[in-house]
């Protein structure tokens, strides 16, 4: 790797490496942490201590979810599902989660690597300031509820059906969430 390679390039190389990797390894996890948040391996804070414990125990699932929570505080793992032996993970901005808006949906045969692949994809598309990053489609552009539907007029489960009919949602991930 070149000395002049940008962080985004390094993250993209790690994401592509995950695509070719069958399962997480200690070395891969350390490389991801060193690239994305090196302070979690060098500091003496609570998070660093916890991260080193997880690495020592090969608790890679906990590390993957902690990275999303700690490094993308305005984002959530929206869905983790297995379909035909392939794991799918969708990470969405907190403000977009109820609307099926912009999300990064990635797949891998290993659940941990699917989560990490989605995490790295989000990082590649975010501006440098992750704290204030908002997806391209702003929540303010969306109606609060569809025309003619009151907030309390439908149970939560059927609200998604109403949204699909009124808004014409076509996103594959949104449709899967509704099913």
Considering only residues 160 and 57, tell me which one the structure prediction assigns the higher pLDDT.
57
Looking at residues 33-49, what average pLDDT do you find? 88
Looking at residues 16-26, what average pLDDT do you find? 95
Q: How does residue 74 score in pLDDT terms, banded at 50, 70 and 90?
A: confident
The residue extents of the domains of the chain are: 7-137, 143-179
Q: pLDDT tens digits, residue range 138-175? A: 434 444 444 444 444 444 444 444 444 445 444 444 44
User: Phi and psi for 142 in degrees, rounded to 5?
Assistant: -95, 145
């Amino acid at each position: 790797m070149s000395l002049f390679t940008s962080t985004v390039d390094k993250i993209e190389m790690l994401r592509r490496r995950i695509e070719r990797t069958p399962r997480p390894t200690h070395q891969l996890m350390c490389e991801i942490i060193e690239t994305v948040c090196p302070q979690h391996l060098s500091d003496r804070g609570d998070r660093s201590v916890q991260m080193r414990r997880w690495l020592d125990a090969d608790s890679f699932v906990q590390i993957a979810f902690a990275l999303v929570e700690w490094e993308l505080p305005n984002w959530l793992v929206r869905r983790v599902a297995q379909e035909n032996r392939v794991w799918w993970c969708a990470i969405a901005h907190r403000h977009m989660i109820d609307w099926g808006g912009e999300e990064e949906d990635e797949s891998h045969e290993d659940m941990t690597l699917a989560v990490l692949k989605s995490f790295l994809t989000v990082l590649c598309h975010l501006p440098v300031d992750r704290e204030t990053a908002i997806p391209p489609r702003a929540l303010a552009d969306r109606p609060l509820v569809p025309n003619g539907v009151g907030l309390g007029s439908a149970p939560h489960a059927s609200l998604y059906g109403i949204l699909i009919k009124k808004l014409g949602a076509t996103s594959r991930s949104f449709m899967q969430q509704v099913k």
